[in-house]
Every structure is written in C-alpha cells, then in structure tokens.
Amino acid sequence: MNDVIQVRVHAALNITPVIREITFEPVDTALPAYSAGSHVQVHIPLAQRTLRNAYSLLNAPADRTAYRIAVRLQEHSRGGSRYLHENLKVGDVLNLSRPANLFPIHTLGRHHILIAGGIGITPFLAYSEHLLREGASFELHYAYRSGLTDAYVQPLAERLGDRLHAYDSLERPLNLAPILSNQPLGSHLYICGPQRLLASVREQASALGWPDGRIHWEAFSSAEPGLPFSVELAQSGRRIEVGADQSLLEALEANAVEIPNLCRGGVCGQCVTRYVKGDVTHRDHFLAANERADRLMPCVSRGCGSSLVLDL
C-alpha cells in the first residue's frame, strides 16, 4: 500500500487575508475515508527541499470525493504556508500522507464542548458534521479576530444555529468560566488553537475540577526554526548538518535516513530516537522527563551546545 496519496488542487480560495482554503481531488483512485479530527501531511515542494506540514481535514468525514484544508499564513513560516498561499495553483499535483487521527472525538461523551481559537477551528468543522450526523449533543465556542481569522463564522452560524457561540476577540472576549461551569456529567472538552488558549483552558478546567481524561487538545508545535546544528550517527559514523529552518527529522530524511513518523509535531511518539551524547532542546509532548536522558523526538527537538550523537 502506497504511503502517499497523489492529489490535484481543485480549488484554492483566500477566505480572509491570512487564511486560504485548499480543496484537493484524487488523481486516480478514491481518497481514503477518515474520522473527524484527522490530519494529513502536505508535502510542500520548496526549491531546496520538500517540507511536510500537518493540516486538519475540514470536510464531512463521509465525503470521499475531496479533502479540504485551511492554511493560515504564518509570519515566522519556514516557507511552507507561504508557498501554499502564494505559489500553489489550481491544477497543481501534490503528495499527501494518508490521514491519521491524533485528535478523535470521545465515543462515549454525552456532551461535547468544542473551543477554537482562530485557525484552530479547522478540526471542529469536521467534528460538527460528524456530531450533527450522529445527533449528538454539542456546543462550539469560536474566538477569532474579525476580518482576519473569522473564516468560518457565517457558514457555521447557518449550520449550527444556537450551538455556535462566536467571540470577536476585540468586541466580546471569550470568557471561559461560564463555559466550563455547570456542564452535565459525561461532558468532554476539546481545544484547538494557540498555546495561550490551550494553557488557559486547561488551567481553568482543572481548577474547576475537570478530570484530565475529559480534556482533549490538539497540540501541534511544529518544528520552530532554531539554530543550525550538526549530528553524528554513531553506527554509521556519518555526520549530518541540520539547517536553521529544518527539523532534525527532515535533515535525516534528506540524507536517506528514514525514521517512522506520524504527527511530525512531537505528540504521537512514532519518531522516538535514542541518542548517546549531546545537549538537546526537547520540544515534544510525548517523552517523560526520565526518558529524555537518552531519547529525543527528532520531528521537533533539536541539538544545542555540544555535538549530538544519535544511536543510528
């Protein structure tokens, strides 16, 4: 079974000055089915190398004729979101990884509370379709900056009616306390958005007595650019340079060292790699503190200071 799906850009539309919605259609076979909350990695062919960025799938999961994603232009982009905004054209053919789900809906939830900040709305578009179809009880809280990240307010208002609670951050800031209080037993909370939002929802929910198992978040922290560094592979003796705007995983792949990977955002645990020496900036959400002594997640973490030696 092929690891990548070839797709053609069917439509690309700027829905706000910073958000572009892209629709992919299959090149030959039907697209694989997926569950709400799934993402794909888009292989972005930059001039020097191919980047892989993860984006949530937006459309109703039952729909297998197209995949839709929404891309926010990142100011500190490594070039991926800029390429998708400025270079990608209708008719272009690209590779996607197969869909995977690191942010699934809890099947036994009695009531689902979705909280989105800005572009974090994307997984909840698929969630909403799924929950409507199942006749499930839910509410969506959507905080945005009007004219900038309010891409889906109008269509959601039409589709969800009073299940949607919209917060234009300048006029009506998101007030968490009433949302997190007095919710029925068996409620589950889902958060997607900037780290600030994530942190404050988790903090307040936990102060109000929400058990950890009922709070779910999508915590992509895709490889931030950093300083260049070099690694040595202990078993082959090879030396590999990692550029400032490249992750360690990408540098290894560029040198034909394949590491299993899935999220490319430090959460799934697939890319775990042992190291024998060196200082590491750990940026993952997977390893326990004691595991970090000899393991790292190359999709997000980087070497710093003394030279890094991997057990590869």
Q: State which residue, 52 or 112, has the beta carbon closest to ligand FES.
A: 52
Residue pair 127/36 in contact (Cβ under 8 Å)? The answer is yes
Interface stretch with ligand FES, choices 87-95, 104-112, 148-156, 261-269 (CB under 6 A): 261-269
According to CB under 8 A, which one of 234, 270, 278, 292 is a site residue for other proteins? 270
Q: What angle do CA 261, 192, 225 make, to 5 degrees?
A: 50
| 286 binds, options ligand FES, other proteins, none, Cβ within 5 to 8 A by partner type | ligand FES
Interface stretch with ligand FES, choices 91-99, 171-179, 227-235, 266-274 (CB under 6 A): 266-274
According to CB under 6 A, which one of 286, 295, 303, 312 is a site residue for ligand FES? 286
Give the gyration radius of the chain's Cα atoms.
20
Interface stretch with other proteins, choices 93-101, 179-187, 220-228, 247-255 (CB under 8 A): 93-101
22 vs 86: CA distance, rounded Å: 12
Binding marks (x or -) toward other proteins, 65..84, rule CB under 8 A? --------------------
| 1 binds, options other proteins, ligand FES, none, Cβ within 5 to 8 A by partner type | other proteins
Binders of other proteins among residues 23 to 52 (CB under 8 A) are: 32-35, 37-38
**Residue 235 binds to other proteins (criterion: CB under 8 A):** no
111 vs 136: CA distance, rounded Å: 7
Identity at 102, one-letter amino acid code: L
Residue pair 219/190 in contact (Cβ under 8 Å)? The answer is no
Packing angle of the helix pair 153-160, 122-134 (nearest 10 deg): 10
156 vs 166: CA distance, rounded Å: 10
Distance of CA 158 to the CA centre of its chain: 26
| 33 binds, options ligand FES, other proteins, none, Cβ within 5 to 8 A by partner type | other proteins
According to CB under 8 A, which one of 262, 280, 299, 308 is a site residue for other proteins? 262
| 297 binds, options ligand FES, other proteins, none, Cβ within 5 to 8 A by partner type | ligand FES
Exposure of 295 in the CB half-sphere (CA atoms within 13 A)? 16
According to CB under 8 A, which one of 54, 55, 61, 222 is a site residue for other proteins? 61
Beta-carbon count within 10 A of 45 CB? 13
Q: Please give the structure tokens belonging to residue 151.
A: 């891409």
Task: State the burial class of residue 35 (Cβ atoms within 10 Å of its Cβ: 0-12, 13-18, 19+).
Answer: middle
10 vs 274: CA distance, rounded Å: 42
3-state secondary structure of 220: coil
Q: State which residue, 116 or 263, has the beta carbon closest to ligand FES.
A: 263
Q: State which residue, 155 or 260, has the beta carbon closest to other proteins.
A: 260
**Residue 54 binds to ligand FES (criterion: CB under 6 A):** no
Q: State which residue, 41 or 122, has the beta carbon closest to other proteins.
A: 41
Instruction: By CB under 6 A, name the binding residues for ligand FES.
Output: 261-264, 266-271, 284, 286, 297, 299
